[in-house]
Amino acid sequence: MMAAPIESLLNEICESEDPIEELKSLRTAVLATPVSGLRQAVSGARLEIIFGLLNTNDKEQIEVCVEILSRVLQALEPIQLAQNYKTALQSGLNHPNDSVKMLTLTQIGRVAGHADGVTQMLNSAEILRDVIQCISVERIDVAKEAIAALSKLSNTKAGLDALFRSDLLNKLKDVMLTSDIIRYRVYELIVELSTVSPVSLGYCANSGLISQMLEELTGDDVLVRATAIEMVTSLAQSQHGRQYLAQQESDPFSSLYLPGLVKFFGSLAIMESPQQVCEKYPVFLEVVFSMVMNLDPTLTPVALDTLGVLGSTVEGKQVLQKTGEKLTSALKRMSKVAADGATELRVRCLEALAQLLTLPAEQQTDDLLLLTESWFNCLSSQPILMIRNISTQPFPELHCRALRIFTAIGCQPWAQQLMMDTPGFMEWVMDRSVGMGKEAKDCKFELVGALLSSSSAQEIFGAHNYLKLKTYLKEGPYYINAVSSVTTEGAD
């Protein structure tokens, strides 16, 4: 119906020196015509006229042309666009006006989402290069449109091959060098492509760009780290993305970024909720347990810290308890390392165990007391003696960390009973000659305080021990028994 007016308006525009009024009339006609009617009304040759009129500095003319083309091009099949308007599309990508770029990228997105259209696009590497270049445009919505168009290529193997197995990958890497912001836009594209399917994730991983993104987790720049964390979280949304992150330990570079990744999930669990985070990202705990078991000097300390932080809350304890055998194995491994591992790892194990076993009086329920008792009993056949043996070794840092485990369990009735049943243990606690140095004396003082803080102390320890503990507390951490001592001064 409207075909004739549109046709005649195109003729008028063609003959006019200053066609702005005719363009406005065409815009009105085009917007008033249903898309089905436009299909009959527009012919390839005629549209070139409108594309040609984009080559001007007149902003109003550009704006009207963009509105006309946005409407008219919807009427064309993606394959028609790809076959007949390659040159026009390429010009649009390089146009100085962002709204022309937006129009072009939207249309290229339509083509890229169409099976036959993709084949046409792949024969035009130059167009894809220009789309990649658009990621670096200052205006974020132009960059987003470019990312959206490129991410549609991931729906076909041919599209993935074009992007990752040609010089387009180099173009992508070149664009990343523009700035931090642009680099992260490329990561955004990579994450978007990765989440589509395990196959697309494989292409992205092989490009090296995912491991590059993960390395950013350990960077010095806080903002860059925060953005990297956001990207990694997006990657973890898909099942295959989570699996990929879990397998990163076998990557020779994993020690660079896995600690950052685990720290991130650990802090997320504390900020949000251990249960929610562990349910949403089940792979997180798997990675932590695996890092504890594998004893890597770079990875294990972070995993131990994370386990400790997670288990310091009641909800975290309950989440860990649900992992059953995995936690039991981790506790046994930690106990072994605490007894005879490298000093740094021994310290980290003891610190983590103290956090896991802490249960203040206000949190004590029968279930939670059973839980901490069962964890403590996992450590060895005689855990009290094992921890005490560590505390007697000539390393101040080990001595104090071991005492802190006793402090952690000191207000729990089952632990107090265990201490009472261990010959010589209470005498050892109150022996001030054990552990020299300020830190050691402070730790011992804290332990005595913890033992007395429990309402069950008097009943379990008996009146005699209870009074001695009270006296110790009253005398303070640095009290010296008034024992007669003889000092011999040697002559010079």
Q: Are residues 196 and 96 in the same domain?
A: yes
pLDDT of residue 71: 92
pLDDT of residue 482: 60
41 falls within a domain? yes
Of 186, 207, 228, which residue constitutes the final position of a domain?
207
- CATH assignment at residue 102: 1.25.10.10
108 falls within a domain? yes
pLDDT of residue 44: 55
Q: Are residues 11 and 109 in the same domain?
A: no
- Distance between CA 68 and CA 80 in Å, rounded? 18
Of 180, 207, 234, which residue constitutes the final position of a domain?
207
- Distance between CA 360 and CA 467 in Å, rounded? 23
482 falls within a domain? no
157 falls within a domain? yes
pLDDT of residue 491: 41
Query: What pLDDT, in 10s, does the model give residues 355-414?
Result: 999 999 999 999 999 999 999 999 999 999 999 999 888 888 899 999 999 999 999 999
Q: Are residues 111 and 201 in the same domain?
A: yes
pLDDT of residue 246: 64
Predicted TM-score (pTM) of the model is: 0.57
Instruction: Yes or no: say if 201 and 240 are a contact pair by the CB < 8 Å rule.
Output: yes
- Distance between CA 113 and CA 154 in Å, rounded? 9
72 falls within a domain? yes
pLDDT of residue 379: 96
Q: Are residues 203 and 164 in the same domain?
A: yes
Burial of 149: CB neighbours in 10 Å, binned 0-12, 13-18, 19+:
buried
What does the DSSP assignment read for 238-253?
SHHHHHHHHGGGGSTT
294 falls within a domain? no
Q: Are residues 162 and 138 in the same domain?
A: yes
Rg of the chain on CA atoms, in Å:
35
Q: What is the largest CA-CA distance in the chain?
A: 123
Q: Are residues 39 and 118 in the same domain?
A: no
Burial of 424: CB neighbours in 10 Å, binned 0-12, 13-18, 19+:
exposed
- Distance between CA 447 and CA 457 in Å, rounded? 13
Of 207, 234, 250, which residue constitutes the final position of a domain?
207
Q: Are residues 70 and 110 in the same domain?
A: no
Kindly give, in sequence order, each residue whose CB lies less than 8 Å from that of residue 402, ignoring residues fewer than 6 positions away: 350, 387, 388, 390, 391
Q: Are residues 97 and 168 in the same domain?
A: yes
Domain count, the chain: 2
pLDDT of residue 45: 53
- Distance between CA 167 and CA 129 in Å, rounded? 9
101 falls within a domain? yes
Phi-psi region of 381 (alpha: psi -120 to 50; beta: other; left: phi over 0): alpha
Q: Residue 480 is encoded by which pair of tokens?
A: 């010296």
492 falls within a domain? no
The 10 Å Cβ neighbour count of residue 175 is: 20
Q: Residue 107 is encoded by which pair of tokens?
A: 């249309």
Q: Residue 218 is encoded by which pair of tokens?
A: 């350990």
Q: Are residues 39 and 106 in the same domain?
A: no
The 10 Å Cβ neighbour count of residue 108 is: 31
Instruction: Yes or no: say if 209 and 170 are a contact pair by the CB < 8 Å rule.
Output: no
Expressed as residue numbers, the domain containing 12 is: 1-76
Q: How many residues would you count in the chain?
A: 492
Q: Which residues of 50-87 are buried (b: 16+ CB within 10 A; e: fewer)?
A: bbebbeeeeeebbebbbbbbbbbbebbebebbbebbbe
- State the amino acid at position 185 in one-letter form: R
pLDDT of residue 488: 43
Q: Are residues 190 and 96 in the same domain?
A: yes
Regions of the chain short of the pLDDT cut 70? 1-4, 43-45, 218-219, 222, 246, 248-258, 260-261, 264, 435, 482-492
Q: Are residues 98 and 72 in the same domain?
A: no
- Distance between CA 131 and CA 123 in Å, rounded? 14
pLDDT of residue 258: 66
Burial of 102: CB neighbours in 10 Å, binned 0-12, 13-18, 19+:
buried
Q: Are residues 123 and 170 in the same domain?
A: yes
